[in-house]
Chains A and B, each alone.
Chain A
Amino acid sequence: MFEYTFQWRQAFRALPQMLEGALVTLQVAVLSMAMGVAIAVLLALMRNSSSPWLRAPATAWVEVARNTPALFQIYMAHFGLAGLGLYLDPFTALLAGITFNNAGYLCETFRGALRAIPGTQARAGRSLGMGAAQAFRLIVMPQMFRISFPPLTNQMVWAILMTSLGVTVGLATDLTGVTQDLNSRTFRTFELFALAAVLYYLIAKAVAGGARLLAWRLFRY
Chain B
Amino acid sequence: MKPMLLAAGLAAAAGAAQADKLDDIIASGVLRCAVVLDFPPMGSRDADNNPVGFDVDYCNDLAAALGVTPEYVETPFPDRIPALVSGRADVGVASTSDTLERAKTIGFSIPYFAFTNVVLTRQDTGIASYEDLAGRTVGSVAGTFEGIALEEDVTEWGSGEFRPYQSQADVFLALSQGQIEATVVTNTVANAIIATGQYEGLTIAGDAPYLVDYVSLIALRNEEGLLDYLDLFVNQQVRTGRYQELYNLYVGEGPAPDLTIPGVYR
A-side residues, CB < 8 A to B, are 1-4, 7, 10, 78-79, 82-83, 87, 89-90, 167-170, 172, 177, 180-181, 183-190
Q: Which residues of A contact B170 (CB under 8 A)?
A: 79, 168, 170
- The chain B residue sitting closest to A190, CB to CB, is B85
Contacts A1-B87, A170-B165, A180-B78; is A87 near B179 (CB within 8 Å)? yes
- The chain B residue sitting closest to A90, CB to CB, is B163
Cross-chain contact A2 with B142 (CB below 8 angstroms):
no
Q: Tell which of B55-63, B100-108, B127-135 binds the partner.
A: B100-108
Distance in Å: Cβ of B38 to nearest Cβ of chain A = 14
Contacts A79-B177, A186-B105, A188-B105; is A170 near B143 (CB within 8 Å)? no
Contacts A170-B163, A170-B164; is A3 near B82 (CB within 8 Å)? no
8 A-B contacts (beta carbon < 8 Å): A4-B220, A78-B179, A79-B179, A89-B161, A187-B81, A187-B101, A187-B104, A190-B85
Q: Which of A7, A167, A185 contacts B148 (CB 8 A)?
A: A185
- The chain A residue sitting closest to B162, CB to CB, is A172
Distance in Å: Cβ of A31 to nearest Cβ of chain B = 20
Distance in Å: Cβ of B193 to nearest Cβ of chain A = 17
B174 within 8 A of A: yes
A-B interface pairs (CB < 8 A), number:
84
- The chain B residue sitting closest to A186, CB to CB, is B101
Cross-chain contact B139 with A185 (CB below 8 angstroms):
no
B86 within 8 A of A: yes
Contacts A2-B86, A172-B142, A184-B143; is A177 near B104 (CB within 8 Å)? no
- In Å, the complex CA distance between A168 and B85 comes to 23
Cross-chain contact A3 with B85 (CB below 8 angstroms):
yes
Within 8 A of A (CB), among B224-254: none
Cross-chain contact A187 with B163 (CB below 8 angstroms):
no
- Produce 1/0 per residue, B52-90, CB < 8 A to A: 000000000000000000000000011001100111000
- The chain B residue sitting closest to A2, CB to CB, is B85
Known: A82-B177, A184-B147. 19 other contacts (CB 8 A): A1-B86, A2-B85, A3-B87, A4-B85, A10-B104, A78-B179, A79-B173, A83-B177, A89-B161, A167-B142, A170-B139, A170-B174, A172-B163, A177-B164, A180-B166, A184-B143, A184-B144, A185-B143, A186-B105
Q: Which residues of B contact A181 (CB under 8 A)?
A: 142-143, 164
- In Å, the complex CA distance between A79 and B178 comes to 10
Cross-chain contact A79 with B174 (CB below 8 angstroms):
yes
Cross-chain contact A82 with B178 (CB below 8 angstroms):
yes
